[in-house]
């Protein structure tokens, strides 16, 4: 029996049950998961039992119905968890790009403008206030360079930590997939 035929017969059998939509959705998801993990459609559906057997189990066993509802809630939580992880990864990448641009901007601004300040300090004849101005300008521009370097160091360390966490997470997911298959 094929999936669509099975689900149509199951829907016909369960039409009078109050939760029939949830139960149909559960079995459809169950079949889809089995097919995506490489099981043969007809073999898996035969393993589930006939629609009348499923109706009988549902009418006699409340825990069976509870298991279906629990599975549905777990599946929804897993979907939300995956979406949150993907969005946080995208947000992290966006933030890293912005921090990289800020750090690079600070370093290049400080480096290029410090040379003009040093040149003016050496070449120009100036008053004592101009000397202090150029000294403080040089110090400020050096601090821009240092701040930009600190952003790069932080970004590198944080990226390394996040990459390790992602690697552990992916290894765990792959191992779960290997255990199920």
Rounded-to-integer distance, Cα 156 and Cα 57, Å: 57
Find tokens 């966490």 and name the residue.
165
What are the residue ranges spanned by the domains of the chain? 3-60, 80-180
Does residue 36 have a pLDDT over 60? yes
Does residue 178 have a pLDDT over 60? no
- Tallying the residues shown for the chain, one arrives at 181
Does residue 3 have a pLDDT over 70? yes
From the list 77, 84, 74, the residue with the least C-alpha distance to 26 is 74
Average pLDDT, the chain: 77
Contact of 46 with 31, CB cutoff 8 Å: no
Q: How confident is the model at residue 71 (pLDDT cuts 50, 70, 90)?
A: low
From the list 68, 78, 1, the residue with the least C-alpha distance to 30 is 68
Q: How confident is the model at residue 68 (pLDDT cuts 50, 70, 90)?
A: low
pLDDT tens per residue across span 141-171: 889 889 888 888 888 787 777 777 766 766 6
Rounded-to-integer distance, Cα 157 and Cα 77, Å: 31
Mean pLDDT of 120-149: 85
Rounded-to-integer distance, Cα 89 and Cα 41, Å: 35
């Amino acid at each position: 029996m094929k999936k669509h035929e099975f689900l149509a017969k199951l829907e016909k059998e369960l039409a009078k049950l109050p939760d029939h939509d949830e139960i149909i959705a559960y079995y459809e998801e169950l079949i889809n998961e089995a097919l995506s993990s490489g099981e043969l459609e007809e073999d898996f559906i035969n393993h589930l039992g006939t629609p009348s057997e499923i109706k009988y189990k549902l009418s006699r066993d409340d825990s069976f119905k509870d298991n279906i509802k629990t599975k549905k809630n777990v599946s929804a939580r897993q979907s939300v968890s995956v979406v949150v992880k993907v969005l946080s990864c995208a947000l992290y990448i966006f933030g890293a790009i912005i921090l990289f641009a800020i750090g690079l901007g600070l370093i290049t601004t400080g480096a290029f403008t410090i040379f003009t300040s040093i040149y003016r300090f050496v070449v120009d004849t100036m008053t004592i206030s101009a000397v202090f101005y150029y000294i403080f300008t040089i110090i400020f521009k050096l601090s821009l360079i240092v701040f930009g370097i600190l952003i790069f160091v932080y970004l590198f360390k944080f990226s390394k930590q996040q990459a390790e966490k992602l690697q552990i997470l992916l290894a765990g997911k792959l191992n779960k997939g290997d255990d199920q298959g």
